[in-house]
Amino acid sequence: MMLKYIGNRILQIAILLVIYVAIVFFMLHAMPGGIKTLLISNPKLTPQAQEAIIRAFGLNQPLWLQFVDYMKNVFTLNLGISFSYYPTPVWNIIAERLPRTVLLFTVATLIAFFVGFASGKSLAWNRGKTTEYVSTVVGIITYTIFTPLLIFVMIWFFGSFLGIFPLNQFLNPDLWIHTRLNAQIVFLYILMTMVIIGAVMMVSYLMALRFSHKESTKKMIFYVSTAISIVFALFLWVVSPIGIYGADILWHMVLPVMTVTIISYAGNMLVMRDSMLETIKEDFITTARAKGLPDKVVRDKHAARTAMLPVVTNFVLSLGFVVSGGVITESLFSWPGMGMTLLDSTLAKDYPLAAGALIFTGIFVLIAHLVVDIVYAFLDPRIRY
């Protein structure tokens, strides 16, 4: 049942993806001069190189054949050569930058989700207090604030005023000049560490569900295995020679992550608060209280668990908003991910790279959508398969 549902969703997302790529293709065609001009209109390209591109992309063929070729090229990751990084293939650039964006977004989104969830929950539970009023107002302000303004405030406050975080960029060149390490490799190690820790958390959670029916034992299994894996990972990083470089990258991540977190936090918090306020009026909450369950159990296990569903839905709806915020954030922090690539390549008229960045940002968003849909299906048993 569940597998069938997931299969269906994957199919739907795949169809959406093809449609999306097609839209990008026709958009490029609608540009003055069409794709052909776009792909070769670069002074850096020699006539031979232009010939080669025309042949490789079949740019002299009829439109529908071009479309088929284009689709084939996209799905074989043959995205052309970047003008601005000539002669690096677009795919190589994207393969390097996509993980950075994925990391930035995933970390920020998870933090924003859990902090928004927890604060929205306790605000609703302790309703009517001044703290609720103040936090709601602050939430609405950060929710409606113009993203660049937020970023400048962040940069000024943490970078200049407090001076505790680097202002921009991916790493500190002064540090890396002394090493022959490849920053990308170090970065991938960081990513791998996080994925492994995430996997350990998930597996231990599922194990806990399976092997125990006592709330406290479940929690213990989960927290202990999470703590062990984190401590172990930290230990490995500290003793390894690349530890300091990893730390440098992480250090540079703090501000961008914080910014994207703030951008999506307020929405989560406000939706959670509203949803929680509605949920605690439900009859099943009265039932839970009548059963003599402790207040905390009523709040967390019954109210918050059910109130969380709209927050997940809201996340899907606000995905576009978070991505556009991400483009601005990456650019202003010079965080070399997909967002910055998208903006820079467009400004530099580097069309192959821009198209590639557009396509892969889209793929990323669609996959995020898929993941959230699947998570939702696990959270809400009422979902129809």
Partner 1 sequence: MRPILELRNLKMYYDTQAGQVKAADDVSFVLNEGESIGLVGESGCGKTSVSMSIMRLLPENARIISGNIFFDGRDVVKLSNDEMNKIRWAGIAMIFQAAMNSLNPVYRVGDQIIEAITAHEPNVTFEEARQRVASLYKLVGLDPERMDNYPHEYSGGMKQRAIIAMSLACNPKLIIADEPTTALDVIVQDTILRELEKIQRKLNMSMIYISHDIAVIAEVASRIAIMYAGKIVEMSDSVAIFKRPAHPYTVGLMSSFPSIRGEKKELVTIPGEPPNLLNAPDHCRFVPRCPFATDECWKAVPSYTEIESNHFVACFHPQNLKKRVSINA
What are 89's strand-pairing partners? 81
Given a contact cutoff of 8 angstroms between Cβ atoms, the answer to whether 256 and 247 are in contact is no
- The DSSP result for 176-224, as a single string, is HTT----HHHHHHHHHHHHHHHHHHHHHHHHHHHHH---HHHHHHHHHH
Residue 122 binds partner 1, judged by CB under 8 A: no
> Which residue lies nearer to partner 1 by CB, 163 or 381?
381
CA dihedral 123, 124, 127, 131 (to 10 degrees): 10
> Which residue lies nearer to partner 1 by CB, 22 or 297?
297
What are 81's strand-pairing partners? 89
Contact with partner 1 (CB under 8 A) among 9, 36, 289, 369: 289
- Quick one: which segment of 253-261, 278-286, 322-330, 368-376 binds partner 1 (CB under 8 A)? 278-286
User: What distances in angstroms separate CA 319 from CA 103, 263, 297, 312, one per listed residue?
Assistant: 15, 11, 31, 11
C-alpha 43/C-alpha 194 separation (Å) is 43
- Quick one: which segment of 11-19, 27-35, 160-168, 305-313 binds partner 1 (CB under 8 A)? 305-313
Least separation in angstroms between residue 297's CB and partner 1 is 8
> Which residue lies nearer to partner 1 by CB, 4 or 213?
213
Least separation in angstroms between residue 361's CB and partner 1 is 34
Contact with partner 1 (CB under 8 A) among 8, 126, 240, 287: 287
> Which residue lies nearer to partner 1 by CB, 263 or 303?
303
Given a contact cutoff of 8 angstroms between Cβ atoms, the answer to whether 28 and 355 are in contact is yes
- The DSSP result for 132-169, as a single string, is HHHHHHHHHHHHHS-HHHHHHHHIIIIIIIS--S--SS
Least separation in angstroms between residue 222's CB and partner 1 is 18
Residue 385 binds partner 1, judged by CB under 8 A: no
Q: Per residue, what are the HEC states of 313-335? A: HHHHHCHHHHHHHHHHHHHHCCC
> Which residue lies nearer to partner 1 by CB, 87 or 294?
294
Residue 291 binds partner 1, judged by CB under 8 A: yes
> Which residue lies nearer to partner 1 by CB, 180 or 382?
382
Radius of gyration (C-alpha) of the chain in whole angstroms: 24
Least separation in angstroms between residue 306's CB and partner 1 is 6
C-alpha 355/C-alpha 346 separation (Å) is 9
Site for partner 1 in 212-271 (CB under 8 A): 213
Residue 282 binds partner 1, judged by CB under 8 A: yes
Instruction: Convert residues 309-328 into a mask of x (bound to partner 1 by CB under 8 A) and - (unbound).
Output: x-------------------
Q: Which residues contact partner 1 (rule: CB under 8 A)?
A: 213, 282-284, 286-295, 297, 302, 305-306, 309, 379-382
